[in-house]
Amino acid sequence: MPVEVAAGGGPLALDAAARDRLRDRLVRASGLARRERRPILASVSGPVDPGLDLAAAVLGARRADDRCFCFEQPDRARFALAALGSAAAVEPAGGDRFRSAAAECRGLARDALADDAPAPAAGPVWVGGFAFADSGAAAPEWSSLPPALLTLPELSLARHGDEAWLTVSALVDPDDAPDALLDRIDARLAELMPARMPLFDPDPVEQARVAGAAPPEHFESAVARAVERIAAGEVEKVVLAREVRVHMPRPAEPGAIYDALRAAFPSCYCYLAGTPEATFIGASPELLVRREGQRAQTVALAGTRRRSADPSVDRLLAEQLLQSPKDREEQAIVARRIERVLRPVSVWVAAADEPVVVKVQNVQHLATPIRAQLSDPVACVELAGLLHPTPAVGGEPRERALPLIPALEGLDRGWYAGPVGWIDSAGDGEFCVALRCALLRGAQARCYAGNGIVARSEPAAELAETEIKLAALLPLLAG
């Protein structure tokens, strides 16, 4: 993944005091690991220049066999997280994968030797995501992104406001030599430098070819059958998705696409999960859950209209969305479920009285912010497991809607519409819903978009709405 190195840039290194702390912690962790007969986390954090492009630095230092992860929301105090390498990974499977992932991360963080985190994500973190379905991501294209994967990176960079931090982490096994671990970390740090993202080819010789994985009529037929099930009283709502493939003359450049997404969608959660074989990338408007101590936040997001360059038309479209019985019904279904799920683990749950319109570059949605004061110390990953899938990407009632989705869609969603994000050693963190996304693998990109189907849904209108949503990524991939 070529990245242009900034002129005059040098390695991003720990200062002498931080390096001494790391050496001491590696030695102490080695001794504790031998006594406890289990791995111990050793980590240090230090400040770096907040003006750095954190994602570009990580992508520029990436080795061919590395995993990497980028997650940022520019409009939220310039929040950014970029992670490289793998000191440890958890890959639980099955219906209990969220709880198992939280338990494994807690176990690895037990007795950790680390600095206190000065800000969200500015310390040891686990990064990654989950497939939409418990047994999802079984298709060959998803082979390096299993149903659940959280990685403890060797290096991570976090920014919040006008401050940024570098964190170095190692999981020390009983038979690890501290000096060898320190040498490995030094070699990593020597490769981490200020960098700029690559640019798009402004005049490609060959054009990409775009084709649906299935004919558009297949999606319209699936919508019609879903409406029949709703009319028969089997379900209240079901979400259906489409897959569109882009066949490119050469492999896409993930860094350039990520850079374009965060510039175009600064209020969204822009994410990139890279493996040696593939990259999952997107810009989602939907927060699944954020936990800060005993406080949790989420949003019920459903209902969509296009944007217009004409302000008066744009306002009219927003007002139509607010007044649409179909969209209000779809949005209320999501809000009610989220409140119902959070109540058993909360002292109180509060939702806005009326939805608001959230605008991103190409679409606008109905959204209801929801807050909760937790009664139990439920980790962010576990909260994500309780909420996922919300009716915004699954259906209602969940038990009857979820089996309909693969039967009607005919595709493996993989990580599409699953949770993607991060969690720290205290259980705080945040996960978005992986929407407006693409899976890049070789010279092919698979783009995904879906709609909530309710009683008033019309197949042609739902197909047109998916085209609007696909416009977030298709122009970047197809040229």
Catalytic residues: 237, 286
162 Cβ contact partners less than 8 Å away, ≥ 6 residues apart: 50
Determine contact, residues 79/72, Cβ cutoff 8 Å: yes
End-to-end CA distance of the chain: 19
Going by the DSSP 8-state scheme, the letter that residue 418 receives in this structure is S
* DSSP result, 155-219: EEEEEETTEEEEEEEEEE-TT--HHHHHHHHHHHHHH---EEPPPP-SS-SS--EEEESS-HHHH
Could you identify the residue written with the tokens 């969305």? 321
Q: Within its chain, how far is the Cα of 20 from the centroid?
A: 34
C-alpha 428 chain-centroid distance: 15
Cα separation, 271 vs 438, whole angstroms? 11
Q: Count other C-beta atoms under 10 Å from residue 247's C-beta.
A: 14
Torsions phi, psi for 33 (to 5 deg): -60, -40
- H-type helices in 61-121, by residue range? 97-109
**In 40-154, beta strands by DSSP E:** 40-48, 68-73, 79-84, 88-90, 125-130, 148-152
Helix (H, G, I), strand (E, B) or coil at 14: coil
> Cα separation of 428 and 471, whole Å?
33
